[in-house]
Structure formats: C-alpha cells, structure tokens
Structure 1
Amino acid sequence: MGLKDDDVTELHAHGWRTLAALYGLIEGELEQALQATAGLSVVEYTVLDALSRQDGWQMRMQPLARATALSPSATTRLVNRLERRGLLQRILCADD
C-alpha cells in the first residue's frame, strides 16, 4: 500500500506552493530590511553584490544579467537607475 501517482503529484504541488510562499515571505522581509537600512531593493542589492565580487567592481552587462537572473533590458534599466543614484558608474568597454 503506497502513494498513488495522483497523491504524489499533489504532494509535489503542495511542496512547491509551500516553498513559493516561504520564498515570498523571506523576500518581503529582506526587501523591508534593505529599504530601511540601505534604501535598496533586493534586486538592486543583488546587482551591487554581483559587482562587489568582481575585481574592480567591473562586469559586462550580459554576465551581470545572468548573475542576477534578469533580462538584459531589465538589467540595463536597473544599472541606469543605480547610476543616476550615484551607486555605480557605467564604463564603456573598449572591446564593445
């Protein structure tokens, strides 16, 4: 006597829903803490963190987009916003 396929499927679905709910709660808490202490969103912090782990805080846009799980256009908009706030400086690459 074991679990039926439908039971396993529902168990997996329930697990994923629970995980997604927990992720949402954790991200919300992180968002509030970052906003309160640094005036940053989670995604802004993620970009700055990815840059901070590079020599000279330099990274091309495509690898930055991959490191932050953002689309290239979303990464560009975010980098532009962070640059306007004076939190980073965009430098044109001679190889581009």
Structure 2
Amino acid sequence: MSEQSTKWLEADEQAAWRNYLRGSARLSAQIGHDLFETHGLTLNKYEVLVRLSESDDWSMRMSDLADDLVHSRSRLTRTVASLEQEGFVIRETCAKDGRGRICRMTDEGYALLEKLAPSHVASVREHLLDKIGHDDLIELGRIMATLLDDPATPAV
C-alpha cells in the first residue's frame, strides 16, 4: 500500500486506538496479576480451565481449544503441558480419529477452578465492570464479537 493511498487515522481515531491498546494491555495485566498473586496461576492457564469446565466431559480437542482461546497451537501446547505437569489436566489421543489430541481437566483442575473463580470474577468487576458499567461492557462485548466473526481477521 503506497503512502498516497493510505487513509490515515484522524486525531480522535488515533487517540481511541492508542487508548484501546493501552487499556486492554493494562486490564489483562491487572487481572492476570491479581490471579497470579492470589493463586499462582496465569490468566492463560485459568482460561484453559474455564473453557474445559464449560465443555462436555471437561474435555476439548487441542485444536478447538486453541481456536477458542485465539492462541497459537504451540502456545497452547506449552500452557497445557504446564497444567498437565501440575496435575490439572491430562492429554489423551482422540478416540474418534487417533490423530488429534484431547485435553481433559482433572478433578483437581476443577477444584482449583472452583477455588479461583470468585476472586477472578471480583477482579474483573473491580478493574472493568465497576469502571465502565454494565451497558458499556455489553456494548464492548458486542464490538469485540464483530472482530471475532470477521473472516478477514487472521488467526493467531
């Protein structure tokens, strides 16, 4: 794309874009910090356990889990390997095709999630919901969903 054909951001658009970048980074850092300081678990690991808890039999195909979390396959593999070492998940060969891998949460993983969830939700409320309010949070979710539905958005 040549500079002449570039439609530059207007000043208010640039400010909004930068606020989005800084705000989302700060929010993730704050919530991640609260989770780690309180329970020694990263936000990535917590989100893996959440997704598994919401799935049938507490299990998901690794590729589907990576897509759901918008993580690269290698990033998810590292996260799951660490959770597996800690006894919170196990990986199994997919019975349907014998090629894929299934990640299954253990009873210990579910117990940990039950223990962490109340403080995690309190952190989300403190750092996001209490600051922007219910209606803006719902609108933010709607806006972000449009990005997830955009087929032109590259997967990580």
TM-score by length of 2: 0.54
The unaligned stretches of length 5 or more in structure 1 are none
Q: Which fold has the larger relative contact order, with Cα–Cα distance below 8 Å and residues 6 or more apart in sequence?
A: 2
Amino acid across the alignment from 1:82: L
**Which residue in the other structure is 2:41 paired with?**
40
**Which residue in the other structure is 2:106 paired with?**
none
Aligned length, in residue pairs: 91
C-alpha separation in 1, matches of 2:29 and 2:75: 20
**Which residue in the other structure is 1:53 paired with?**
54
For the pair 1:63 / 2:69, whether they are aligned, the reply is no
Q: Share of identical aligned residues, percent?
A: 33
Question: For the aligned residues, what is the CA RMSD?
Answer: 1.6
Shift of 1:10: 2.4
C-alpha separation in 1, matches of 2:76 and 2:22: 26
Amino acid across the alignment from 2:10: T
The structure with the greater share of residues assigned to strand is: 2
Please list the CA deviations of residues 25-55 of structure 1 after superposition, one character each: whole Å capped at 9, or x if unmatched. 1111111111122211111111111111101
Amino acid across the alignment from 1:76: T
**Which residue in the other structure is 2:88 paired with?**
87
Amino acid across the alignment from 1:32: H
For the pair 1:74 / 2:91, whether they are aligned, the reply is no
C-alpha separation in 1, matches of 2:77 and 2:84: 10
**Structure 1 ranges of 4+ moved more than 6 A:** none
